[in-house]
A and B are shown apart, each in its own frame.
Chain A
């Protein structure tokens, strides 16, 4: 009898167990992360803040590159694999400008430094912008109506071509940039130090970001970009020159990559042909983390990744260390794409599934 009763009892619809996996895992990971950070903070607060500032600086560089990915993805739905390599060439342009054209060396005067930085910035931005437009023209535009994987494959090909252009130009070794940024303290407060070089990175990055946001959200060209991103055909019918808008987007993305290249060369002091590929993937992860296609999201994601990397490499208590940085970043990428493809800030897109 008892069995019959249970058999006829009303069955409440149950959520499948799988649907709990993601929130629970995320919560557990988050708790572990916070605990780990808190214990590290407790062990040495001043060291923690020093690492925090490193993360902020690295995150700012990532943000510049990640914005390029997100801009292009937003308008073409294409992962521009060659973007990281455009960034790397920007770094090499800047290194060449600083060393050969401006002849800067360690301990240069402030005036010379500012002039050289702005000069190199302009050259790197223009050169990379033009380069990116050329890449689009050669490798992506002829495939506008091809199956979607075709431009992705040419993007990989372009990435390798650009890397080898760098090898031909500078050789396979590292190109060194002299340590020109001042290393003095901006402030030093109970063991927490913030140095000028880090501030300069932020000082270059923030105006570029603000200018970009203004461009996309307040100008007519920005409006055209947003319209093209939403619906290419409709934008064309409204009289927007779609090809020119796409070229313009690549120009802006390339210019951002050029700025990032300069900042990277100045801050890290060395750059070589494969720098762009590694950093590009990390920046792409940032863009995905923030929600690809979403400009503030890219900045947020880049800062997150910057902090994650800095904490992982810098903190002393039970951190996996720099050997595992890429694995951690790619694990984040995979987890985000699988469980929350719209990212932290993005809207849900059909691509993510």
Chain B
């Protein structure tokens, strides 16, 4: 209960100070909503600008950014209506989407240099980081089906990611050298062996295969309750990479399924082929896209736009499924399994669907990532990744689409760039490091700290702090927050699964 007292105390001090200056809480609350919002947003933007200047990363473009922020946040866009249609509620998603689509044009490739930097965190993320962020957003949204909607703790989500990546490895590379199949793949020289399916087809296949795996894993295990389910999924998540690692000589038969620790590489890139390229103008082969003013950032940028499209599909499915009959059944199970069963919700089928749906998006994301990296390696698929994706969902807010997107973007950014930037800043400005590095085999020493070296400790701390002080996450879904604070009982009176 510390959090409430702390927050109340801060707010009390704050209002006392403002009251001395003549602005009591009552006067403030009588102001119109838009005026209040204008004051608050302007204050925060001002603080941001001051910080940017104070940390020595000032660029004049920061003022443009500030103007855009004010324009988007101050007017009451959400009340906008055309006739009786409330188009306002689409304003925020549309604005975010437009900013994301246009990202390469203001911060992609060489444009990044003109953008303001963030204090401590350094420059805005590069295009390659943006691609990875979008892929992790997709995975986190997939896990959100299981953890956020249905309330089942899945500690082995990495198994689905691995499955998707290996589907891409099998059907879009030269792994099976006794085959020679080319089904719509681009950039394949004639006579290349192996399965070469079009990546678009592979994405779909990966999703379906992974969803099937989800069902196979789910059917026997979803009878188990909460923590047992968590540990079983963890078990699957540990078995999968071991199969990947040892699958180059499966059970002594000499059959090379996964190419062992070497992984499967290279994997084909996506592309639309000649006909679409000539008639519509979509890229022929992603790997050949050059860095031009119309596509700043080159092939990273087209991957980013594609990933963004995949994220959009995922978001659409998340939102629609959440409000569907199935989604309401998931939420009912999450809130009270006994009551849901009593109301006629088929527990097993509903849970299995949540598993399969989550697995589907994990598989698609895994296959896309494998295609982007042009390879899949067993070392990528350990427990850490499951926890990494889980912490995205927890940080953002379980069950909240906006929250999960923000959590995934932030943590994926920290993983790829943020932590090393923060570490460099700390070593440069706080610690007496003088451009050195910690001694070999250590993460702290010589006055330096290797922040990415303790990355997962930081994620662990994020998990603990969020669960203790704000279990509903940064951007909570209203319903989940209520549950977590009022303490819905998920303890069964008796076991209903029999």
Contacts and interface: CB of A to CB of B under 8 A. Distances in A.
Interface of A: 77-79, 138-139, 142-143, 145-150, 152-154, 156-161, 163-165, 167-168, 171-173, 277, 281, 284, 288, 323-324, 326-327, 330-331, 333-334, 337-338, 341, 350-353
Given A281-B234, A326-B238, A152 B153 contact: yes
Contacts of A150: 467, 471, 484
A2 B400 CA distance: 63
Given A161-B461, A352-B225, 4 more contacts: A146-B484, A156-B390, A161-B460, A164-B457
Contacts of B463: 153-154, 156-157, 160
Given A152-B230, A331-B239, A163 B457 contact: yes
A207 B146 CA distance: 45
Given A148-B490, A171-B442, A350-B492, A337 B153 contact: no
Given A139-B464, A327-B243, A334 B232 contact: yes
Q: Say what secondary structure dominates the interface of chain B.
A: helix
Interface stretch (B195-203, B216-224, B268-276, B315-323): B216-224
A324 B483 CA distance: 42
B457 A167 contact: yes
A152 B242 CA distance: 25
Contact of B235 (A157, A160, A334): A334
B460 A153 contact: no
A352 B471 contact: no
A275 to B, nearest CB: 14
Contacts of B492: 350
Nearest to B496: A353
Closest A-B pairs by Cβ, 10 of them: A164-B457, A160-B460, A157-B463, A330-B235, A157-B464, A157-B460, A171-B441, A161-B460, A171-B442, A164-B454
B228 A164 contact: no
Interface residues of B, number: 57
17 contacts: A79-B227, A142-B468, A147-B487, A149-B153, A149-B230, A152-B226, A153-B390, A153-B394, A158-B464, A163-B456, A164-B457, A168-B444, A168-B454, A171-B442, A323-B245, A324-B246, A338-B221
A247 B242 CA distance: 37
Given A157-B463, A324-B246, A351 B227 contact: yes
Nearest to A158: B464
Contacts of A333: 231-232, 235
Contact of A78 (B151, B227, B238, B461): B227
A143 B220 contact: no
Given A156-B463, A164-B457, A334-B236, A353 B498 contact: yes
Given A154-B468, A163-B456, A147 B484 contact: yes
A149 B491 CA distance: 11
Contacts of A331: 235, 239
Given A171-B441, A172-B443, A79 B230 contact: yes
A138 B232 CA distance: 26
